[in-house]
Structure 1
Amino acid sequence: MSFTLETSRSVLLSLHLQHDIVSKAGKFANFFSSQAEERNVIKNCEQVINEARLIGMPVIHAAVCFNDDYSDLHVNGPLLAMVKQMEALKKGEGAAFFDEVAPYEGEYVIEHQRVGPFEGTNLSQILKDSGSDTVILFGVATNIVVETTARIASDKGYNVIVVEDCCSAATLEAHKASLETLSLLATITTRDDLLEKLKAPSLK
């Protein structure tokens, strides 16, 4: 889909690029690792993040993580129940970001305990303070945190851009189905198209 981008009014939001979710050795490896690897998600995200940094676009990183005793986990659905059963996403190594996409000093890190990063955090205030009207987002999984975040950001009045090849789900079918729904609420683009926009001086 063709779109224009005012980079000075945009932020980049990286979602759940964490070891327990994406890594082959992670607690959710059986669900998400294969598609993330096949779609080259970490490398694609790294390229987008680095280009955004070069032009001074704010980069925000969201991580879902919990206390060791899960005292901050409210289970109200199967996915969150699985987190506790699998002893996943405890603060520390499992919840850490991949080195390639880890935050730089000074970049915002949103730690949250719900499916998406808006609830119970200061993300809304960060976006408001940035003066941005556009949120560019990506991560794993497409049909979980990406879709949740895109819907809420859209409802809050932001223009939402989803970078489809910087996302993956448990299956390609789930990924595609989520994007088909999101196409009614957001602009769906690719890494290459976005990189071209980020490098275009006339749009900065």
Structure 2
Amino acid sequence: MKAALLAMHYQNDVLHADGKVRVGMAANDPKRQMLIDAATRLLAAARRHGVPVISVRIAFAPGYADCLRNCALFRNVAASGAVQEGDWGAEFFEALAPREGETVVTHRRDNPFWETDLTEVVQRTGATRLYMAGIATNYVVEHGARHASDLGYEVAVVGDACSTAKPHLHAASLETLSMLADIVTVDQAVAQMGATS
């Protein structure tokens, strides 16, 4: 079984302590380094075992002309000045940034597949199983996992490489997704990648 890894929203505004987005990680969250370490191990294992890494980012044009403000989430993003193209906050967190030659997909809604080329990018890998990790669990990860499941992929959400600012929402999202995806740890994902490489 061929796999690919979607690493979503590991960006400065989302993950860094000085970032502007707080739905995925509270400003002073003591678990920040644990998440970074888990995601680092996951990315390293995927690369070691030849699993394609697709980095997914959210970013808007300066001034947010391309930001649809039909809900509180995106109104709050625009009000905060977060993830604008060309700004430090929209860049990838250095330790989790894509490597040269890896694919990057940019989106502007909750669903990373919506009005992007992510479907085609995944198809080109030949993967039938998608590992998903990122921030926030209950937004981009959940939307992406649901969409991938509807497309017919076998989905595995790597729970300890995901986060929300409120742990009960993280747990609830993983519980909901357990009917659509395998919920795995980084250690389990690494073992599975090694077994199929």
Is 1:11 aligned to residue 10 of structure 2? no
Give the alignment partner of residue 166 of structure 2, picking from 162, 166, 171.
Answer: 171
Q: Alignment length, in residue pairs?
A: 195
Measured after TM superposition, the shift of residue 24 of structure 1 is: 1.2
Identify which range, 25-34 or 160-169, moves more after superposition.
25-34
Matched, 1:196 2:196: no
Q: Secondary structure at the match of 1:197?
A: helix
Please name the residue that 1:183 is paired with.
178
Task: Please tell me whether the aligned partners of residues 22 and 33 of structure 1 are also in contact (alpha carbons under 8 angstroms).
Answer: no
- C-alpha separation in 2, matches of 1:98 and 1:142: 17
User: Could you tell me whether the CA contact under 8 Å between 2:148 and 2:155 is conserved in 1?
Assistant: yes
CA drift of 1:35 comes to 8.1
Partners in 1 of 2:55 and 2:159 — Cα distance? 17
Q: Residue 139 of structure 1 aligns with which residue? A: 134
CA distance in 2, matches of 1:49, 1:182: 22
Q: d(CA) in 2 for partners of 1:30 and 1:185?
A: 23
| 1:143–1:35 Cα change, 3 Å | farther
Structure 1 stretches of 4+ with a deviation exceeding 6 A read none
- d(CA) in 2 for partners of 1:52, 1:95: 24
Aligned to 1:58: 52
Aligned to 1:21: 14
Match of residue 76 from structure 1: 70
Task: Tell me the secondary structure at the aligned position of residue 168 of structure 1.
Answer: coil
Deviation, 1:128, is 1.4
RMSD: 1.6
1:37 and 1:144, CA in 2 relative to 1: closer, same or farther beyond 3 A? farther
Q: Distance in 2 between matches of 1:35 and 1:183?
A: 29
**Native 8 Å contact 2:51 2:193 kept in 1:** no
1:78 is aligned with what amino acid? A
Q: Which amino acid aligns with 2:61?
A: N
Distance 1:137 1:36 in 2: 22
The code of the aligned residue for 1:187 comes to D
**Residue type matched to 2:75 in 1?**
A
Shift of 1:196: 1.8
Q: Is the 8 A contact 1:162 1:188 kept in 2?
A: yes
Q: What residue identity is the alignment partner of 2:20?
A: K
Q: Which runs of 5+ in 1 are unaligned?
A: 1-5
Structure 1 residue 199, shift from structure 2 partner? 2.6
TM-score, normalising length: structure 2 = 0.94
- Code of the residue aligned with 1:15 in structure 2: it is M
What's the CA shift for 1:117? 1.3
Unmatched 5+ stretches in structure 2: none
Equivalents in 1 of 2:37, 2:134: separation in Å?
12
Summarize the alignment of residues 122-161 of structure 1 with structure 2, pairs less than 5 Å apart. 122-161=117-156
180-189 or 47-56, which deviates more: 47-56
Give the aligned residue type for 2:73: L
Question: SS of the residue aligned with 1:14?
Answer: strand
Residue in structure 2 matching 1:47, options 38, 41, 44: 41
What's the % identity of the aligned pairs?
Answer: 38
Equivalent in the alignment of 1:120: 115
